[in-house]
Amino acid sequence: MTDKQPPVYEPKNSRNRPNVARAQAVGSGNVSDTPSRRSIIPSQHEDAPPSYTPRSRAGAGGDNAVSSARKPKTSRTSASHASSTPRSTNSSVRVSAASTEDQAQNPSSTGTHRKRARRLGKIFISLIVIILIATLAWFVYLFMYGSSKLEHVEALSGRANTPGETYLIVGSDKREDGVLEDGEEGQRSDTIMLLQLPDTGHAALISLPRDSLVDIPGYGPSKINAAYSYGGAPLLVETVEDLTGLTVDHYVEVSMGGVQNLVNAVGGVNLCYDADVSDAYSGMEWTAGCHDVNGDQALSFSRMRYSDPRGDIGRGERQRQVVSKVIDKAASPDTLVRPWRQRALVAAAAENLTTDSDTSLFGLVQAGLGLRSAMSEGGLMGAPPISNISYWYAGQSYVQLDPNTIDAFWQKMTYGELTNEDLNQILG
């Protein structure tokens, strides 16, 4: 019996398996000693779809081109191919790949910077708003705090208005025990100043000597400070209006003890006087020159007149100097950046000042600005023309205002026409 062998089937159009030894690296004309397995194209069915063969970048053809298309970039043959690729083409591919990778890792970098800038801008604006609100709240608090302590008095006469704004500023020499500096009981106005803020022209601060001879309504000729003793603020206002022709719009009174508190509240002031003084009445002990002083020393500086050859005229100058220095210190950056000093100043002002019923703490601020204007360059400070600083009448010594020029002086003051030549004229 003959053994039957199975038939042998041979595929049609079979191809010879490629020789591994003849495989070449992509882009190289030499035979590679270690060819890649993927560089060898295995035998396929004749019915298999034809594979796409990309054109070789290195210009190689035939089996080498097919082998190059199938090799991955990470193979050693790829490295060999890259070394043979022109530099410009390879660089452009690398830059494009890097740019694509950066955009993938950091999308919209410009947009990120813009968002960050907007965020910082919002934070900055928020901080500014918070600071403004806090500052506004602080000043509202100071206003309410000061207003609650401020005292008022019915002082204005209700006369028809005259041009500009007129402030009557009075310093009372009444002490805490109700005894005056000359040992008498009662109250007198130690300081009388008129602040005129005209509609046009320069602000003027004029000191009226306390011993000025005037006609007091209902009492006749007397020293002007007696009007305050006779009838308080209302009679003093009426007397000043009769004397000057100006209608008083605001009345501000400070006790002499208030001067101490105000000076201490601003941290002391620097005052100047060019003579040595040892005055028992006022307590002023002074060496000629300028000195930093506290509230007690500033008060003695303001009160002294017996050791001054010019009496009330010299005292008025020193009083204006104290007022000027307090206002300068109150408006200085040193005070504006110290909230506790601002509070102390408001408390000292409110607790020691008395105003007419229509003047609020805001009105005091306006008065302070007016005083600063009068005391600055271009402002006017001084006394009205005087014919005699020791005028005897009815057995007493008075200051006599010059009857020939005083009416014209008040007229100029009303309309802002005063000049430095009109001030401090002592004719007798």
Residue 67 has pLDDT above 60, yes or no: no
**Torsion 393-397-399-405 (CA) sign:** positive
pLDDT of residue 138: 82
CA distance 76 to 23: 14
List, as one string, the DSSP characters of 40-78: S-----TTSPPPP-PPPTT---HHHHHHHHHS-TTSHHH
Residue 8 vs residue 263, higher pLDDT: 263
Phi-psi region of 186 (alpha: psi -120 to 50; beta: other; left: phi over 0): left
Q: How many CB atoms lie within 10 A of CB 102?
A: 11
pLDDT of residue 94: 53
State mean pLDDT over 7-33. Answer: 51
pLDDT of residue 214: 95
pLDDT of residue 13: 53
CA distance 113 to 17: 61
At 208-219, the pLDDT tens digits run 998 999 999 999
Q: The whole model's pTM is what?
A: 0.67
Residue 162 has pLDDT above 80, yes or no: yes
Arithmetic mean of pLDDT over the chain: 77
Residue 380 vs residue 110, higher pLDDT: 380
Residue 50 has pLDDT above 80, yes or no: no
Q: Which of 172-181, 257-266, 319-328 has the lowest mean pLDDT?
A: 172-181
pLDDT of residue 410: 95
pLDDT of residue 237: 96
Q: Where are the beta strands (DSSP E) in 198-333?
A: 204-207, 213-216, 220-223, 250-255, 269-273, 277-279, 284-286, 289-293
Residue 3 has pLDDT above 90, yes or no: no
At 84-117, the pLDDT tens digits run 444 444 544 454 544 555 545 555 567 787 888 8
pLDDT range class, residue 30, cuts 50, 70, 90: very low
Which of 166, 164, 147 has its CA nearest to residue 155?
166
Q: Which of 43-47, 190-194, 283-287, 320-324 has the lowest mean pLDDT?
A: 43-47
pLDDT of residue 18: 54
Residue 141 has pLDDT above 70, yes or no: yes
Which of 189, 197, 326 has its CA nearest to residue 250?
197
What is the side-by-side strand order in the sheet with 204-207?
151-153, 353-356, 250-255, 165-172, 189-197, 204-207, 380-382
pLDDT range class, residue 364, cuts 50, 70, 90: confident
At 256-293, the pLDDT tens digits run 778 888 899 888 999 999 999 999 888 999 999 999 99
pLDDT of residue 37: 43
pLDDT of residue 407: 94
- Work out the burial of residue 345: count CB atoms within 10 Å of its CB; fewer than 13 is exposed, 13-18 middle, 19 or more buried: buried
